[in-house]
A and B are shown apart, each in its own frame.
Chain A
């Protein structure tokens, strides 16, 4: 990688970044992935983008006060989890106002990746109680540890296990039912 393209203004050291730079860099690296995480939690793309946008705005305001700036990504993720929970809490009200009653427009690319198997699993995931869904998304998509999930959701590790096992059991049953029908 040549130095010639690097603007002189930007320090290599994240600790020297101001909030604008931090947001710009972290956005480039994590925007899309965090929207993907939020999408799994809130199930609609517009809300997912809102939640992640709010997380970046919050990070900007907090940047100078983060004890350990390396925790910025964890902070963003936590903000997304919290924001997604708020969205779900208000979903009942919002649902009456949202323009599109159905999931994302089924673009060709989305349809292509959602095979029948994916659809069954995702439908079962969407039908889970929100706690179970949160635990499964954070564990198996976010790859958080049980401890991190417990802290992130404010519940005990035992509760994390319980929710995960119940959620997986429901998914297993859904997939088996579909196979029997086939």
Chain B
């Protein structure tokens, strides 16, 4: 950018509208972060190299320090808007990895000054760092806790007439960890989008457990009884694998058991002992619409994620009569990478169908594109 002489003065600050806008936006994103409590895991890892057998007493003793009044902490720092002065007791719970009955993520959270919705803060250490190599106790039955308490869980579906995956977030009820809730919601199959389907059948007793770095899914035989084509059966298995790994927050291999037996037959086809996620570009629909907003009259804001040749996706808007009223390209990820897109379409009041898809580059030779469509009502 040689046509871009760099100003030499100080950088602009709040007198600049873009700076103000950037500050507000970054603060909003940072404030929305609801990290899990990892203090116990930090202590654990910090000590892992030095000790062997007295592991837990040391961690517990360190973590049990209770600090009341944070004057000393402030002395160390420049106070900032996010600083918390009151400190609470740290969690003294042992890591779930060392426990046979996985405890729920204990969360005496580090007393954030702003209220954080508690359920979202449970993406805890256990799931994202499976079985630390430094585990101080050798426990043969390495069952580890899965994250739980998420307000919504990811559930994958197949698109109508395709073997490509789409995803919704479901307010799955019930008890158990997030992966189990997501699994049951997927088996129940009630997608919000009428274009999404699922070949699975409901199984309220299905569950997911993490054992030795594998996510074990226990199903009843009736959940996958209908015979399907091999392509569709494979897609259904990926639907399950994507769902439970997403909800578990960890890309582990998945072992599906039916009636406690490994390597079952699902939808009329034998399944390998463990199945991992296939590459996204192979199984995931090229475009997902993740939200539509008509909050502002006279327009719709469409957001999603997708991938396309040179990053280009195509969106179209059709009105209630089926006439196309808008069509344009939108930029997402390229080369098999999925990236966010956002497009704002001005429209007169009315009900429309918005579709986003990968444009057909083959002149009609390739398989039909797989659009994601949503119905919106513009005020």
Chain A interface residues toward B at CB < 8 A: 1, 5-7, 9-10, 12-14, 19-21, 23-33, 35-37, 39-40, 45-46, 48-50, 52-53, 56-57, 60-61, 69-70, 72-73, 95-111, 113-123, 125-126, 136-137, 139-141, 143, 146, 158, 161-162, 164-166, 168-169, 171-172, 175, 178, 181-182
Contact = CB atoms under 8 A, between A and B. Distances in A.
Interface of B: 1, 4, 6-8, 10-12, 16, 18-19, 21-36, 38-39, 41-43, 45-46, 61-63, 65-78, 80, 82-85, 87-88, 90, 110-112, 116-117, 120, 123, 125, 128-129, 150-152, 154, 169, 242, 245-246, 248-251, 277, 279-280, 284, 288, 290-291, 293, 296, 299, 301, 303, 305, 337-338, 340, 342, 344, 346
A29 B287 CA distance: 41
B333 to A, nearest CB: 9
A125 B150 contact: no
B35 A31 contact: yes
A122 B29 contact: yes
A175 B18 contact: yes
Among B29, B35, B36, B41, find the residue whose CB has the most chain A CB atoms closer than 10 A. Answer: B29
A29 B305 CA distance: 35
Contact of A158 (B6, B26, B151): B6
A117 B277 CA distance: 36
Interface SS, A side: helix
Nearest to B78: A73
Given A49-B123, A50-B129, 13 more contacts: A29-B73, A32-B35, A32-B82, A32-B84, A49-B128, A53-B38, A73-B77, A99-B251, A102-B338, A107-B120, A137-B26, A166-B1, A169-B4
Nearest 4 A-B pairs (CB), nearest first? A36-B30, A20-B62, A60-B46, A33-B82
Given A1-B69, A31-B35, A106-B290, A141 B18 contact: no
Contacts of B242: 99
B33 A141 contact: no
Given A32-B84, A101-B280, A27 B6 contact: no
A22 to B, nearest CB: 9
A107 B77 contact: no
Given A21-B62, A141-B26, A165-B6, A103 B340 contact: yes
Contact of B69 (A6, A123, A146): A6
A158 B152 CA distance: 46
